[in-house]
Amino acid sequence: MFNSRRSAEVLEQEFLPIRAKVLEVAAALDRLDRGAGSLASDARRAQIQAAIQILLRPDDDRAEQVQLIFSRQFRDDWREEFDI
């Protein structure tokens, strides 16, 4: 309803920004790998990997899914834990 643009038009506007951002991520990952030591035990490295996997899915809520990868879990029973 609030998005009447054609995808070709969106691509026209977004192609170069997407290309630039993908390149930035690729270069940053290379930079991580060039550093000394291992990140195998760092949860943030796994989060990045999981977020990249989401980009490859055909879903229409990838931004939301990526956000949730980087979010702490919500538990319904938090009030009991806090006694509130």
Residues that bind other proteins (CB under 8 A): 1-5, 13, 61, 63-64, 67-68, 70-74, 78-79, 82-84
The minimum distance between CB 6 and other proteins, in angstroms, equals 11
Largest Cα span, the chain: 54
Q: How far is the CB of 36 from other proteins (least distance, A)?
A: 26
Which tokens is 14 given?
């977004």
Q: For residue 6, is it left (φ>0), alpha (ψ between -120 and 50) or beta? A: beta
Specify the residue, 18 or 52, whose C-beta has the smaller distance to other proteins.
18
- As measured in angstroms, the least distance from the Cβ of 2 to other proteins is 4
